[in-house]
Amino acid sequence: MEFFMEYGGVILAILGAAIAVFVAGIGSSAGTGMVGRAAAGLIAEEPEKFGQALILQLLPGTQGLYGFIIGFLIALKLVDGVNLAQGLYLFCAALPVAVVGYLSALRQAEVATSGLQILAKNPSHATKGIIFAAIVETYAILGFVASIIMLFVTYGSV
């Protein structure tokens, strides 16, 4: 118990940083993989559509970046050391970007894959597919901002 009281804050903070990076990253890697598989089928038939297909594939990858940034920011908080309450707080601050990042990456991949169908059938309307997929990004950004707010607005009061 003494070990947990002394190092529990650091352990919880590191666990939070890891969860932010891992969970959002897993969602992004699954999402970009899903869209990439579909894009490869399209590019095999119409290689000139590579650029637009690549944009659609990249969109679900941003959630992993958001998770990485939050993980990095949490790691920076460890420089001064953290007590148990602060560690728990940092762990909780990682959850919005982790959970929302994971789920929105998967949903964005589904929409981006559908956007590839627009690109395949009517390339002049491909931007509409990109916009549909970008709308899902809004929720990833909200999770990211929630984590940032938790890290910077109220952390000092814990």
Please state the pTM of the whole predicted model: 0.90
Residue 107's CATH number: 1.20.120.610
**What three-state secondary structure class fits 55?**
helix
Could you give the number of structural domains in the chain? Answer: 1
Q: Which of 38, 44, 69 is nearest to 56 (CA)?
A: 38
What average pLDDT is seen over the chain? 93
In which band, very low, low, confident or very high, does the pLDDT at 156 lie, cut at 50, 70 and 90?
low
- 122-154 residue pLDDT tens: 999 999 999 999 999 999 999 999 999 999 886
Side chain identity at 49, as an amino acid letter? K
Domain with 90 in it: 2-157
Q: Which of 106, 81, 80, 121 is nearest to 27 (CA)?
A: 106
**What three-state secondary structure class fits 153?**
coil
Q: Given phi > 0 = left and psi -120 to 50 = alpha, else beta, which region is 82?
A: beta
**What three-state secondary structure class fits 82?**
coil
Vertex 102: Cα angle to 98 and 103 (nearest 5): 125
